[in-house]
Structure 1
Amino acid sequence: MPISAAQRHAAKHIDAIRSDLSAWTATIFDFGETAWREYQSADWYAKTLRSHGFTVEEGSAGMPTAFAAHWTNGPGPSVGMYAEYDAVPGNCQAASTCKEPRAGLNEHAGGHTDPHSGLGVGALGGLLATKAAMERHGVTGTLRFTGEPAEKVRGSKPIHAAKGYYDGLDGMLSFHPFYMLPMCNTVRWDTHCGAAYSMIYRFICDQPEDWGKSDGAPIPQSHSAIRAPGANDALMMMYMSSKALRDSMLPHQGGWSISEAILTAGQATADNLPAGLAEIQYMMRMPDLAMAEQATAFLDRNAAHAAQMSGCSYERHWVCKSRPGLANHVMANVVWDSLLAVGAPVWDEEAKAKAREIQSNLGLDPMTEPFIDEMTALVDPKEAEAILRRDLPPSQLNSTSDDYTDMSWHAPLARFYIARPALKAPSGYRYPGWVMNALGGIPATIDPMVATAAKVLAFSALRLMEDAKARKAARDEFETRTGGGVGGSKWTPPLCDYDPPIHFRWPEYVTTQRGRDWWIPTQPNS
């Protein structure tokens, strides 16, 4: 496809603000805020968007760290983009070539792994460039931009979807840094991400005396009496039984998983008092909704039995229920055309020097070309699809999970990946996890991904704005795949029937007399 004047202007705009994009990426990287607690990050985005002329609704859909922004240049098409900005607990890493946490913290605090810092700012750059081009060249239409917290627990998009925040869009553009081959500098074709369910089981031991009831007389010395094991025991029985039975629950191929995190435990203050409260979160990545429902029933049974055995009651609270993704080949081709026009990211000698420094600090021989070759190559979407399908059974329609999939049921959507920095490894060597985290924060190594993603987003958005034929074809395909669009005969409605799970004890930063700290004391050792 020929490049339009508006697209050329957008590319120049991104080049002009590249230093801003770099500084903004570093800002969000340094915040390192985790799911449902991204207060500084959400506030930064809201202020930045307002300063560029967007109207911003903060706390959208009842989520304090979410937002919904829009800008219009008159009647016309509407295109959506979004930012993610949550980090991961236990991955605090400085933008450094050696293993070290960010200043004033240690490795147990939050840090960006994917990195969502680059994801969000890349999207923001594409948004601002699209707006600048629309103003310069008189392109009419509306831009929507949502702030999506808690992606690591698949949190916000199912909720935004259920509340209608994606309805009415002519196209939704979903960018992610590459995280597995062959999904690097390419677009998803048929095999989109699958379903994801996440829930918290809360065990409560508020009537421990009932556990030891019998027809006999009470024992006068209560410390010698039978007593309820309590909530900690319930949690541990739930944890161990579910883990032990996992092989009976999951298929042995396809990449599906269940992982868990213990959020709270204890509350007992003496050895003769049972623990009163404990919580465990499960995250399930499944090929389809039927399997997710079966796995949920399995966990429910385990929770009920663990509670009964330990003198507790239990509650199940939803964190997310997200649908598998819906393909749209027209949208995929729109983005692929844009990626062909923009080209793959390019890493200069400064970036390579940083990479070699990491290798040297790990005791490895620095390489002349330290980055993997795939970072600077484009992969045709159909070729990527064929490679992806090699390891999947024919009946499996989806692979891995990400909650962008909920957007795909409300608007024609394309999901694409731009290379993030990744190092070549000597034979048999595996880099420690901090290396990828650091490469996602060092400006020289992450900025090429951010700028490239911004250009692909802007080119794709402007193509949709300017090409009525492409818009109609994307909408027609969406109508066909859903059996009539939103509410159609083949449409899967939102699964979100729960309130935002914002009230749990999610890991977060706190301010104390010691200064800013993690939710448990994690100041660096003196």
Structure 2
Amino acid sequence: MTETAAQAHAIAHIDTHARELSAWTSTIFDFGETAWREYRSAEWYVKTLRDNGFSVEEGSAGMPTAFAAHWSNNGGGPSLGLYAEYDAVPGNCQAAATVQKPRDGLSVHAGGHTDPHSGLGTAGLGALLAIKSAMERHGIPGTLRFTGEPAEKVRGSKPIHAAKGYYDGLDAILSFHPFYMLPMCNTVRLETHCGAAYSMIYRFICDEPERWGRSDGAPIPQAHSAVRAPGANDALMMMYMSSKALRDSMLPHQGGWSISEAILTAGQATADNLPAGLAEIQYMMRMPTIEMAEQVTAVLDRNAEAAARMAGCRFERHWVCKSRPGLANTALAKTVWQSIQTIGHPRWPEEARAIAREIQKNCGLEPMDNPFLAECEQLMDPDEAEAILRRDLPPSQTHSTSDDYTDMSWQAPLARFYIARPTLAGPAGFRYPAWVMNALGGIPQTIDPMVTTAAKVLAHAGLRILQDADARKAARAEFDERTGGGIGGARWIAPLCDYDPPIHFRWPEYVETARGRDWWIPSSQR
């Protein structure tokens, strides 16, 4: 399809503002804020959007670090949804440097961007502003919505936004993610989308410890020399061990699925002999289907009840997320693929290659003429990517891995695509340490090509959707067919979110104390 003047304007806009995009990406990278605690990142986005003429709802859907921005041109017209993610991951604090070191003033235990969402969000923002500029210049009617999506790493905000109606009424949603697994690199997903994800926190509470070892009617017992009664920590450990022991039996040995756990802490350190009164463990499961997730939830519930009874506790289950498996829309995917073919893959200049070679040298390798993975600088045909992805899946498995963009796909036609992030090649059998990928996601010379390329694809495809009624009609027809009649249709899956945003737990964060700004997890370096 011939490129329109509006699309050409948007691409030029991104090139003109490339330095700003680079600075914005570095800003969010340096914040490194983790799930549900992205205060400075959200504040930055809200201010930037308002400065550029958007109306913004802060704290959307009851999530303090979420937002929903809106702008309309000439009234009426089609509507397009884009979004930003900006959460980082605890324990991955890495400077934008060619050696392993945390960002200044922090420990390696602090938050850091791994995917990186710092570039994901600014690519979306760059595209948004380019589309807006093109709409104004060329008089294109329509509405742009841009949501701030915190806590993606725990599948946090999108199921909640979906349940609260923030994606309703959109003609299309474009979902970009940095490449993170082959063959999904410089391509778009077709049929096999991400699956369901459930996550919950089991909280064990010891209101009154068992009176083991105490004599009836005795005065104050010798508590400090008696064996301590079991409490919340004991219940948590029994939950942890029993669930791990049963993991292989929870689901069939077929299809990709995973169950991960994390023990939350609440600062209850004590040298006394009293049993812990509170302990929490979080589970995250990634399943192809909702039915599999429900089956595992039932097992975990039974384990929690048994552990609590043995330790003289009670338990509570609090949802972190319940997200649906993805709904494909090949018509919209092919529209985006046309834009990817027009824009092309990222291109890394010699300056970026020199930086990559320095990292290779610091990892004990012989620097390569072309240090980047070959697939980063190639386009992958979506049909070929689909075939490769399905090689490792049983024929009956329709979804693979998980991501919460899937909740958007049930509220409006959605296309999911991937643009290469800088990834290094290496000798057979060699595996780079995690800090390398994290650093490459923060060094401007290496991450900027991904950001600008993704922004151009988003802008190019977004304007195609706004200007091409036939493309919108095809995407909507497929959405209605797959859902059996659109939202509320016979095959439509309603939002699973029946819980409040889980913002009140002890999620890792930065804290201000008399000692200054610090990370809440103790560091061995201090």
TM range (shorter): over 0.9
Aligned equivalent of 1:85: 86
Distance 1:404 1:262, change over 3 A: same
Q: Deviations over 1:325-356 (max 9, x none)?
A: 00001110110010011011101101100100
* Helix, strand or coil at the partner of 1:437: helix
Counterpart residue number, 1:404: 405
Distance across 1 between alignment mates of 2:448 and 2:502:
34
Contact 1:93-1:107 at 8 Å conserved across structures: yes
Report what 2:488 is aligned to.
487
- How far does residue 362 in structure 1 lie from its aligned partner after superposition? 1.3
In 1, distance between residues paired with 2:315 and 2:251?
A: 24
Structure 1 SS opposite 2:153:
helix
1:26 maps to which residue?
26
Report Cα offsets for 1:237-294 as digits up to 9, x if no partner: 1111111221112444533111111112573634421111000111100110000000
Structure 1 equivalent of residue 415 of structure 2 = 414
More displaced stretch, 262-271 vs 130-139: 262-271
| Displacement of 1:522 | 3.1
Tell me the distance in 2 between the aligned counterparts of 1:218 and 1:72: 75
TM-score normalized by the length of structure 1: 0.97
Amino acid at match of 1:95: A
Mapping 1:128-207, distance limit 5 Å: 128-207=129-208
Map 1:274-285 → 2, pairs under 5 A: 274-285=275-286
Residues 107-129 of structure 1 show CA distances to partners (whole Å, capped at 9, x for unaligned) of 00000000000000011111111
The number of residues matched between the two structures is 523
Q: Distance in 2 between matches of 1:412 and 1:107?
A: 40
Matched with 1:10 is 10
SS of alignment partner, residue 2 of structure 1: coil
Q: Distance in 1 between matches of 2:228 and 2:310?
A: 12
Task: Please tell me whether the aligned partners of residues 105 and 524 of structure 1 are also in contact (alpha carbons under 8 angstroms).
Answer: no
Supply the AA of the counterpart residue of 1:320.
C
Within a 5 Å distance, the mapping from 1:467-478 to structure 2 comes to 467-478=468-479
1:38 aligns to 2:14 (yes or no): no
Aligned equivalents of 1:440 and 1:16: distance in 2?
Answer: 22
Structure 2: segments with no counterpart, 5+ residues? none
Corresponding residue number in structure 1 for 2:246:
245
Q: Which runs of 4+ in 1 moved over 2 A?
A: 211-214, 216-228, 250-255, 265-272, 520-525
Q: How far does residue 177 in structure 1 lie from its aligned partner after superposition?
A: 0.2
1:254-333 superposed matches below 5 A: 254-264=255-265, 267=268, 269-333=270-334
Instruction: Flag the 1:245–1:266 CA change in 2: closer, same or farther, 3 A.
Output: farther
Q: Which residue of 1 aligns with 2:96?
A: 95
Equivalent residues of 2:213, 2:227 under 8 A apart? no
Query: Contact 1:266–1:277 (CA<8 Å) still a contact in 2?
Result: no
Q: Which moved more, 1:244-253 or 1:511-520?
A: 244-253
Contact 1:208 1:227 in 2 (8 A): no
3-state SS of 1:104 partner: coil
Contact kept? 2:36, 2:507, Cα under 8 Å: yes
Q: CA RMSD in A?
A: 1.5
Is contact 1:231-1:266 (8 Å) kept? no
1:515 shift after superposition: 1.4
Residue 452 of structure 2: SS of its match in structure 1? helix
State the distance in 2 between where 1:222 and 1:309 align. 24
Q: Distance in 2 between matches of 1:477 and 1:168?
A: 16
Matched-pair contact (CA < 8 Å) for 1:264–1:277: no
Aligned pairs (5 A) from 1:354-393: 354-393=355-394
Deviation at 1:513, TM superposition (A): 1.9
Q: Amino acid of the residue matched to residue 7 of structure 2?
A: Q
Matches of 1:421 and 1:308, distance apart in 2 = 51
Q: Distance in 2 between matches of 1:79 and 1:196?
A: 26
Deviation, 1:512, is 1.2
Distance in 2 between the 1:176 and 1:314 partners? 37
* Structure 2 CA distance for aligned equivalents of residues 458 and 95 of structure 1: 28
Deviation at 1:213? 10
Aligned to 1:217: 216
SS at match of 1:233: helix
**2-structure distance, mates of 1:10, 1:354:** 30
In the alignment, the residues of structure 2 paired with residue 296 and residue 386 of structure 1 have an alpha-carbon distance, to the nearest angstrom, of 32
Query: Secondary structure in 1 aligned to 2:190?
Result: coil
Tell me the SS of whatever aligns to 1:487.
Answer: coil
Q: Contact conserved, 2:185 with 2:375, CA < 8 A, in 1?
A: yes
1:446-474 CA-to-partner distances (Å, cap 9, x unmatched) read 00000000000001110011000111111
SS of the residue aligned with 2:418? strand
For the residue of structure 2 that corresponds to 1:399, the secondary structure is strand
Distance, in Å, in 2 between the alignment partners of 1:5 and 1:168 is 27
Give SS of 2:194's match: coil
Cα distance in structure 2, aligned partners of 1:141 and 1:47:
23
The residue aligned with 1:427 is 428
Greater mean deviation of Cα atoms: 364-373 or 254-263: 254-263
Letter in 1 for 2:3: I
CA offset digits 1:91-137 (Å, max 9, x no partner): 00000000000000010000000000000001111111111111111
- Unaligned ranges ≥5, structure 1: none
